[in-house]
C-alpha cells in the first residue's frame, strides 16, 4: 500500500489505542490463569492477534466480546495440575518479536511439543542467549536462527542468567514462564538492564494475577550491576476483570505532530502514572522546547521554538524514530545515544531512520550506537520506504507535517502491525492522506 500525504499541520484530539505491550502480557497471563478473565481492550493489531493465535494453539479459548476479550485458560492436566499444551501445536508468531520471545519460554514451561513459525525477518532476529538458557534448563530447541523452530521437553525451575544488554523481552518471557514451573525461579541480570520499564510492566501485570516477584539489586564480584528477580513457586490467579490502558508508544506520534505543527494535539486515554516507559515522550518533547500538559486522562503538546538536545534512549528505544523527525526540524544539533537495540527491530532502525529522514531532506547520520541530527526549519518531502517496519512508516507520516512537498510512504500497510487505524486517526487530526494499492 502506498500512502500519499499532502503536508499540513495536525491538530485536535485523538483517542489512544490499547497498549500493545500491556495487552500481550495480560492476555498471556489470563490464558495461564485458574479461571475465566474478561479483558477490556478496545483495539487490536497484527501483533496482538499473533499472541492470541499462539495461545489458542496451546488450548486456550479466547473470544471477542464487546469492548475486549473473554479468556478461558487451557485445560489442566489432572495428573500434574498444569495447563495441558496441545501436542504438536504450531504457533504462528507472524512478525511479532514480543510473541516469539514471550511464548517460547511459556511453551517450554508447559512442556509443549510446539513448532514456532513466523515471518522471515523475525526468524533472523536473535533469540540467544534466551535459547541457551532454555536448553540448559532441559528443553530441546531445533532450528534456532530461523523457522521452523521446534521446542520440546519441559523447562526446569532454577537460576537463569542473562546479560543486561540483551532484549528485555527475554527477561519478561522468563518471568511469564516462571509461575508455571515446579519450583522457585531466579533470573539474574548482569550489567545495566536495557529497557527496564518493559520489565517493570511485566512485573506489574504478574502482580495483577497474584504472582509476586522479589527484586534484589547488587553487584557482581567484578563490580558490575546485578539485578536478581525471584519468583517463588506459585500460579496465576485470575483477577476476574482487567483493563488494558492506553498506549503511550503510539500516542507519541501524535504528540510529536503537535510539537512540529502550529496548534496543540491531545491524546485522550493515556495515564501520566503509567508504568509504560514511553510516557517519557512528553518530557522529551518539552526538552526540545515544546509545551506540554497532562492530566489523569490525556496528554497535550503545543508547538514552540524547538532546539536540539542530547538524549540517552536506552530505556525508550521505540521513541527514537519519531523523536528523530522532531530533531530534524529543531534548531541546532541533536544526539541520541544508547540505541544499539534498534539494530535488531523490525528493521535496523538506526539505518532506516537515518536513511528515510534523509530522503525527506533531513541531515541525519548514524553515529556509533546512536544518531546525530542537524536540524533545519523545514524538510523537502519525498519518498519513504517503510522497510516493513511500522514505526518507520509512521515516522514518515509525522515528518510530513514539516515538509514543503508531498510525502509518499511505500509499504504503508506496515502500520497494521501495531496501529491499523493510524491513517484514520491521521485524517481525524486534519491530515490529508490518500491510500493506494501498490
Active site residue ranges: 318
User: Edge-to-edge, what's the strand order for the sheet holding 407-410?
Assistant: 382-385, 407-410, 2-6, 432-436
Positive or negative, the CA dihedral 65, 242, 213, 181 is negative
Cell numbers given for 252: 507519541
Residue written as grid cell 494535539? 265
DSSP state of 18: B
Question: In the β-sheet with 114-117, what is the strand arrangement from edge to edge?
Answer: 89-92, 114-117, 149-152, 140-142
Nearest to 162 by CA among 243, 122, 105: 105
Count other C-beta atoms under 10 Å from residue 260's C-beta: 28
Reported as type and span, the H/E element at residue 313 is none
Q: What CA–CA distance (Å, rounded) separates 225 from 216?
A: 11
Long-range CB contacts for residues 118-122, cutoff 8 Å, separation at least 24: 118/50, 118/92, 118/93, 118/94, 118/147, 119/94, 119/95, 120/147, 121/95, 121/346, 121/347, 121/388, 122/93, 122/94, 122/95, 122/96, 122/97, 122/147
Which three-class secondary structure state does DSSP give residue 384?
A: strand
Task: Enter the DSSP assignment of 58.
Answer: T
β-strands 159-163, 363-367 pairing: unpaired
Amino acid at each position: 500500500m502506498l500512502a500519499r500525504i499532502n503536508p499540513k499541520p495536525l491538530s485536535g484530539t485523538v483517542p489512544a489505542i490499547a497498549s500493545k505491550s500491556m495487552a500481550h502480557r495480560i492476555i498471556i497471563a489470563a490464558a495461564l490463569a485458574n479461571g475465566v478473565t474478561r479483558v477490556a481492550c478496545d483495539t487490536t493489531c497484527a501483533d496482538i492477534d499473533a499472541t492470541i493465535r499462539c495461545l489458542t494453539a496451546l488450548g486456550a479459548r479466547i473470544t471477542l466480546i464487546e469492548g475486549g476479550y473473554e479468556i478461558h485458560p487451557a485445560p489442566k492436566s489432572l495428573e500434574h495440575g498444569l495447563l495441558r499444551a496441545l501436542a504438536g501445536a504450531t504457533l504462528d508468531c507472524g512478525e511479532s518479536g514480543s510473541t516469539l520471545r514471550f511464548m517460547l519460554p511459556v511453551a517450554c514451561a508447559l512442556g509443549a511439543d510446539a513448532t514456532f513459525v513466523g515471518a522471515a525477518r523475525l526468524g533472523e532476529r536473535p533469540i540467544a542467549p534466551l535459547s541457551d538458557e532454555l536448553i540448559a534448563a532441559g528443553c530441546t530447541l531445533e532450528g534456532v536462527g530461523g523457522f521452523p523452530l521446534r521446542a520440546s521437553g519441559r523447562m526446569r525451575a532454577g537460576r537463569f542468567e542473562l546479560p543486561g544488554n540483551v532484549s528485555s523481552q527475554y527477561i519478561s518471557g522468563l518471568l511469564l514462564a516462571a509461575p508455571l514451573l515446579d519450583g522457585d525461579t531466579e533470573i539474574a541480570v548482569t550489567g545495566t538492564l536495557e529497557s527496564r520499564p518493559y520489565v517493570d510492566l511485566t512485573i506489574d501485570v504478574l502482580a495483577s494475577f497474584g504472582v509476586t516477584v522479589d527484586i534484589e539489586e547488587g553487584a557482581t564480584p567484578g563490580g558490575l550491576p546485578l539485578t536478581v528477580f525471584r519468583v517463588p513457586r506459585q500460579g496465576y490467579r485470575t483477577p476476574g476483570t482487567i483493563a488494558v490502558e492506553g498506549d503511550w508508544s503510539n500516542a507519541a506520534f501524535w504528540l510529536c505532530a503537535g510539537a512540529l505543527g502550529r496548534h496543540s494535539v491531545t491524546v485522550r486515554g493515556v495515564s501520566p502514572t503509567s508504568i509504560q516507559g514511553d510516557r517519557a515522550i512528553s518530557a522529551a518533547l518539552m526538552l526540545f522546547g515544546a509545551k506540554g500538559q497532562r492530566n489523569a486522562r490525556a496528554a497535550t503538546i503545543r508547538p514552540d521554538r524547538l532546539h536540539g538536545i542530547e538524549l540517552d534512549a536506552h530505556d525508550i528505544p521505540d521513541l527514537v524514530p519519531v523523536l528523530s523527525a522532531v530533531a530534524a526540524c529543531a534548531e541546532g544539533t541533536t544526539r541520541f545515544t544508547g540505541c544499539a537495540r534498534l539494530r535488531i527491530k523490525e528493521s535496523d532502525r538506526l539505518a532506516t531512520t537515518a536513511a528515510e529522514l534523509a530522503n525527506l531532506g533531513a541531515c541525519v547520520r548514524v553515529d556509533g550506537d546512536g544518531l546525530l541530527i542537524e536540524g533545519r526549519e523545514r524538510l523537502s518531502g519525498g519518498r519513504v520506504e517503510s522497510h516493513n517496519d511500522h514505526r518507520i512508516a509512521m515516522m514518515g507520516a509525522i515528518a510530513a507535517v514539516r515538509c514543503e512537498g508531498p510525502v509518499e510512504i511505500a509499504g504503508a500497510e506496515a502500520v497494521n502491525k501495531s496501529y491499523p487505524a493510524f491513517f484514520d486517526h491521521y485524517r481525524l487530526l486534519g491530515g490529508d492522506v490518500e491510500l493506494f494499492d501498490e
